[in-house]
Structure 1
Amino acid sequence: MDKIMVLSSEKKTSGCYRLAEGRWTEQKLSLPEEMPLTIFVNGHELVTILCSPSSLNFLVIGYLFSEGLIKAVNDIDILRVCESSRLADVRLKNEVTISTEKRILTSGCGGGMSLGTAMPKINICSELKITPARIFDLIRKMVKSGSAYRLTGGVHTTVLCDHEQILAMGEDIGRHNTLDKVIGNCMMCEINPKDKILMTTGRIASEILKKAVMLEVPMVVSLSSPTDEAVNLARSLGVTLIGYVRGQNMTVYANGQRLEACQKTEILCASKG
């Protein structure tokens, strides 16, 4: 890519009143920020994403990859993101077909919107092995790394880890956006996601699982629950899927053979679900 330009605005706070232990106090607090970001590709409007105004270049790159419009950062000639104008202008080296239908990608719990690009048929093969203790440790690191969550609450965090540390991170009001930011981070910084672990604070829906499969990530871990379709996809595509990681507890939904259990059981080691 020849040029990236990101123009950002300052963070904002809001006055409010809090009732605690029967007393009202006036406070000035930071709130989770939300903005619509309209992406133009080769001069054509592609989509409007409701998102948090951070790591917007990673978000745009990750979204274009998730939708199959690019395969590598080198497919982009110029990327210009202007937060104040709420626009991202992308010039690709090759022509792509852009539908004229306007799309809005919501940040809410209803899930994200895809352009309809078919997911490649990938079966995840990996020699990854990890203990439950390491997963608990990495989850704690993810929670501590979420600066926006500590400051405001109300945002999601997604990270890509190896056995020891966080390699890439995305924070956003939208679950899908956090993963696109991680994807963009990996592509920009040349981080290989294979044989790594994807962790998130949000629910694992089928769209999240599909994005993970496109990265060829063998393990997806969440503080929350997966959907039934995400579980079915994980079982059929060879992804280890773990949810409800709280304290020293977790639930394994698919392909538990990658876990080195404290007390190995035939059920865990042999299970594909």
Structure 2
Amino acid sequence: MGFIKTTEQDSNYNHLEKMSVSELLKNINNEDKTVPLAVAQALPQIELLIQQIVNKLNDGGRLFYIGAGTSGRLGILDASECPPTFGVSHDLIVGLIAGGDSAIRKAVEFAEDSLTLGWEDLKAYNINSNDVVVGIAASGTTPYVISALEICNKNNIITGCITCNQNSPLSETAQFPIEVIVGPEFLTGSSRMKAGTAQKLVLNMITTTTMIQLGHVKGNKMVDMQLSNNKLVDRGTKMIMAELNISEKEAKKLLDTFGNVRLAIQNYKNGNK
């Protein structure tokens, strides 16, 4: 089968400007409902990539996301949420975007078309064969991403990708491709919509599953989370209360003493109160 950009195909809806707000919302929602079903079709591909990531991170490697525009922003979002959620280093999962950090807020013209900047951005982190690089591009044709993965492959670095078109150049380049085929967007070509939602769902799966596999979750709780605000301190206190069957005052004291839910529980059980 040849390569067809379904993400760029004409919307299934027309005359959007003539629809009422209610109609617009209903139709967007109907399209959004198809996204988890498309992700479900890709679960075997997602599993293969996660296995590679878990193996490398267990051996001291890192995970890099690299993308442009919406795809780059989503990778950075997912990477930035791992330290507070799972208590891991900011260096463990790194998100890179074409055009650098300023492109997170404001698009940098033609940055995604560079054939050299992707690898340069990775080299700044001393990328090596212990690491995994996942290219994110809804279109599957972004030069910044594809060129970086091509050089990774030559340097014995494991590569994966998340794309929303079948048989794309990016899928052909990545060793462990993930293709979530969401079809045409409600607003023709606006891949921040269904494609972006699909990428976010897959990214959630990758890091959450990886962190569980690496031991950063106990039961169903984020026992290694950073206590960076009052809400999280309260959540941590409740985790300790439930696990140890103690009062809120005791649990809060333990949390204040050890600064971490896991350590608080371990020390209590070891008699260090």
Q: Does TM-score exceed 0.5, indicating one fold? A: no
Bigger radius of gyration, 1 or 2?
A: 2
Higher strand residue share:
1
What is the TM-score when the length of structure 1 is the normalising length? Answer: 0.26
Structure with the higher helix share, 1 or 2: 2
Q: Greater RCO between the two (CA within 8 Å, min separation 6)?
A: 2
Tell me the TM-score normalised to structure 2 length. 0.26
